[in-house]
């Protein structure tokens, strides 16, 4: 079992600053066309059109960085985020774009923790990018949000973190099953009838707090079925949602060394 070391939690102001950064990062990813589409479009343009697009593209990337500095947030932008904000629509990789698009899930967690939304949706419900509209953009409104920021009680955030970790554990357990890994149970586990990973899943579900999550066939319920019955695409969606929520909640609970966003652990 992993034992995470917790330090002092980020303050409400730090959480609000991080929220604004995540909005800009996610918008940068959203504003960039899919890689294949952009490649085809770019190839169809004339040389002068390509040159103009490249010049404008560089200026757009510079604008994102300039906004972070103007808002006084640049020092809080993580190394990974700085590298991403330095990319243009042409230089951004597919992995960078996909990873930062999924950051909307972490953004939603911070919105909830700061009281901007009433609750987090079920784990089979992806966050809507429209939610970003609730996060201020203008400098004066951003400053007001940071100044007035308040976090939910620690116990409420801790409970959400525990649930996210449990869902993440379920995802990793399925991964072990998909990889064909066999459980090597000790005598105590054998005596308890725990011989496979699926046995452990069923046991964990039975031992979990009643009402903590919906259950189908002694398994986590998602998309109206048992987790073990999810398609590869459904599982991929659940995994991405789960990872981002676990990541953001671990950061909020003080598990990132020095509150360094990129170094937030997600061990289960």
Q: How far apart (Å, rounded) are the C-alpha atoms in residues 256 and 260?
A: 6
Rounded percentage of the chain residues whose pLDDT exceeds 70: 99
**Per-domain boundaries in the chain:** 12-148, 154-263
Following DSSP, what letter does each residue of 14-65 receive, concatenated?
A: HHHHHHHHHHHHHHHHHTSPPHHHHHHHHHHS-HHHHHHHHHHHHHHHHHHH
Rounded percentage of the chain residues whose pLDDT exceeds 90: 92
| Interval 8-37: pLDDT, tens | 999 999 999 999 999 999 999 999 999 999
| Interval 119-172: pLDDT, tens | 999 999 999 999 899 999 999 999 999 999 999 999 999 999 999 999 999 999
- Confidence grade of residue 3 (pLDDT, cut at 50, 70, 90): low
pTM summary value: 0.94
User: Quick one: the chain helix, strand, coil %, rounded to 5?
Assistant: 65, 5, 35
Radius of gyration of the chain, Cα coordinates, nearest whole angstrom: 21
Of 252, 266, 255, residue with least CA distance to 18: 252
Cβ–Cβ under 8 Å, residues 64 and 6: no
- Confidence grade of residue 1 (pLDDT, cut at 50, 70, 90): very low
């Amino acid at each position: 079992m992993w034992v995470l070391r917790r330090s002092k939690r980020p303050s409400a102001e730090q959480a609000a600053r991080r929220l604004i950064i995540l909005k800009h990062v996610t918008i940068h990813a959203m504003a960039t066309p899919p890689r294949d589409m952009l490649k085809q479009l770019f190839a169809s343009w004339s040389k002068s059109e390509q040159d103009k697009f490249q010049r404008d593209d560089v200026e757009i990337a510079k604008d994102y960085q300039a906004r972070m500095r103007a808002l006084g947030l640049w020092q809080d932008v993580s190394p990974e985020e700085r590298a991403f904000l330095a990319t243009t629509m042409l230089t951004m990789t597919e992995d960078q774009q996909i990873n930062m698009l999924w950051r909307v899930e972490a953004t939603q967690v911070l919105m909830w923790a700061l009281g901007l939304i009433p609750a987090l949706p079920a784990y089979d419900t992806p966050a809507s990018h429209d939610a970003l509209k609730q996060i201020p953009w203008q400098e004066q409104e951003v400053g007001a949000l940071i100044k007035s920021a308040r976090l939910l009680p620690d116990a409420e955030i801790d409970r959400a973190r525990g649930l996210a970790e449990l869902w993440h554990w379920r995802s990793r357990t399925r991964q072990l099953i998909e990889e064909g890994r066999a459980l090597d149970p000790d005598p105590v586990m054998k005596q308890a009838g725990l011989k496979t990973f699926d046995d452990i899943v069923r046991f964990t579900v039975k031992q979990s707090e009643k009402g903590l999550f919906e259950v189908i066939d002694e398994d986590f319920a998602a998309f109206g079925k048992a987790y073990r019955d999810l398609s590869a695409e459904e599982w991929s969606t659940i995994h991405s949602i789960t990872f981002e929520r676990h990541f953001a909640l671990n950061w909020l609970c003080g598990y990132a060394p020095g509150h360094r966003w990129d170094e937030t652990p997600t061990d289960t």
